Amino acid sequence: MTATPPDPQPDAQPVPVEADAQSVPAESDAQPVPVESDRPGRIMAREMAEQPAVLRRILEEGAPRIQDVAQRVAARKPRFVLLTARGTSDNAALYAKYLLEIRLGLPCGLASMSTTTAYGARPDLTDVLMITVSQSGGSPDLVASTRAAREAGAITLAVTNNPDSPLAAVSEYHLDIMAGPEKALPATKTYTASLLALYLFVEGLRGGEGAQAKVLPDLAEQLLARQDEIRTLASRYRFAERMVITSRGYGYPTAKEAALKLMETSYIPALSYSGADLLHGPLAMVDNISPVIAVVTDGRGGAALQPVLDRLRGRGADLVVIGPRPQVEQASAGFVLPTEGVAEEVQPILEILPLQLLAYEVTIARGQDPDAPRALAKVTETR
């Protein structure tokens, strides 16, 4: 267990969710509790709580439009996919890369925008599908690289939370993730909404309807109701000076997004690695002080991570597992995910929820405000 200094501060108390028409879906019995308007973390807490409703909205209202776009793109038979994004959206794009390569056998790459925006490169993108993921759709480099890709022959698709954005305007096709306004600087509901929209799009490309996603809203609601378990975990690690987060397969984007959330809210250096990459050098820095969080997807990705978990336990690592119960029971601590019967490819939409809560609770426990990370703006304009 991570060493705790003497005379620790009292455990942080839960931050109730503001009363808001969008806070809790109508199907839920949960009652949001009003809080003072200046309570730290109130906006992030509300937006995390909205995620089950957002997922339902996409499945009930957005899915037909996503299916239509997918069918039109599929008819053009793209030969390759390029994915373009920054920050949290980059992790969503990485998830799409796994989906496209595994579910469709379609080769994918993550675009380096500076080759276009800084160096002026103009590759031949005829019959290439360029998917640009952006919450705001406003960053100049995303807009410029998408415009250049379209001029170079690419089929361009924007995935945003703003159908009126500059990115949507320069793209041939657009998917609205329908998350509603997101005001907290750490992205939460737009991330899970992007994952679901991308999953439905990929399923649409292969002629499916994404039926595996129907269980997600109810399971997400159940997970978010277990905040007390996460608060206990946060009290264990609030004094951590460094964290390592690892996974494989579909869980790897989750590890990267969890590390980003921890760094931007609590300022803890959080290093994310594929389990395979962790064994190629970084394993040497693992000790019994700094916690290692393993995201164990229930499926082939989790099986591929098993040798890494064995090595971590062999080094006496303070191992935290987010995943199936048997794996959690073999770790120092963890959080059990309800993955039985849930398709591996949609589990990342659930995996990130306890890790969002962990970032939130650790930040509150450290006396900081997760709504307002220092030096950050909601729309980051890179060029």
* Residue type at 123 in one-letter notation: P
Question: 36 Cβ partners below 8 Å, 6+ apart?
Answer: none
What are 26-70's pLDDT values in tens digits? 333 333 434 445 678 999 999 999 999 999 999 999 999 999 999
Task: Mention every residue, 6+ apart, whose C-beta is less than 8 A from residue 153.
Answer: 124, 125, 126, 127, 128
On average, the pLDDT of the chain sits at 87
**Residues sharing a CB contact under 8 Å with residue 210, sequence separation 6 or more, in sequence order:** 63, 199, 200, 203, 204
Can you tell me the distance from the alpha carbon of 39 to that of 66, in angstroms, rounded to the nearest whole number?
38
Return the pLDDT at 175.
Answer: 98
pLDDT at residue 114 greater than cutoff 90: no
Residue 131 in contact with residue 159, Cβ under 8 Å?
Answer: yes
In 10 A of CB 344, how many CB atoms?
A: 18
- Say if 52-215 and 226-365 have the same CATH topology: yes
For residue 359, give the DSSP letter.
H
Distance CA 91, CA 68 (A): 25
Size of the chain, expressed as the number of residues it contains: 383
Fold of 226-365: Rossmann fold (3.40.50)
Beta-carbon count within 10 A of 278 CB: 26
Map residue 276 onto helix, strand or coil: helix
Residue 121: count other Cβ atoms within 10 Å of its Cβ: 12
Quote the tokens at residue 329: 């029971």
Q: What is the pLDDT of residue 223?
A: 98
Between 287 and 205, residue with greater pLDDT: 205
Angle in degrees, 0-180, between the axes of helices 87-103 and 252-266, rounded to the nearest 10: 170
135: nearest Cα among 179, 83, 81, 95: 179
Q: In what order do the strands lie in the sheet with 80-84?
A: 108-110, 80-84, 128-134, 155-160, 173-176
Q: How far is CA 58 from CA 62, 94, 200, 369, in A?
A: 4, 20, 9, 30
Per-residue confidence (pLDDT) for residue 247, from 0 to 100: 97
Q: How is the chain split into domains, by residue range?
A: 52-215, 226-365
The mean pLDDT of 373-378, rounded to a whole number, is 60
Report the CATH superfamily, name and number, of domain 52-215. Glucose-6-phosphate isomerase like protein; domain 1 (3.40.50.10490)
Q: Which two tokens stand for residue 285?
A: 């820095």
Separation between Cα atoms, residue 275 and residue 293, nearest integer Å: 11
Instruction: Please indicate whether residue 311 or residue 233 has the higher confidence score (pLDDT).
Output: 233
* CA distance linking residue 200 with residue 74, whole number of Å: 13
Single-letter amino acid code for the residue at 100: L
DSSP letters of 313-338?
A: HHTT-EEEEEE-HHHHHTSSEEEE--
- What does the pLDDT read at residue 2? 40
Tens-place pLDDT, residues 80-105:
999 999 999 999 999 999 999 999 99
Q: How many CB atoms lie within 10 A of CB 32?
A: 17
State the pTM of this model. Answer: 0.87
Pairing of strands 270-274, 291-295: unpaired
Q: Give the span between the Cα atoms of 201 and 64, in whole angstroms.
A: 10
The residues pairing with 157 across neighbouring beta strands, listed in sequence order, are 131, 173
Amino acid code (one letter) for 156: T
Check residue 4 and give its pLDDT. 39
CA atoms 272, 85, 220, 38: torsion sign: positive
Residue type, 202: V
Question: Closest Cα partner for 346 from 219, 246, 250?
Answer: 250
Q: Is the pLDDT of residue 154 over 60?
A: yes
Question: Can you tell me the distance from the alpha carbon of 214 to that of 287, in angstroms, rounded to the nearest whole number?
Answer: 41
| pLDDT per position as a tens digit, 292-332 | 999 999 999 999 999 999 988 888 888 999 999 999 999 88
Both structure tokens of 319: 């191992």
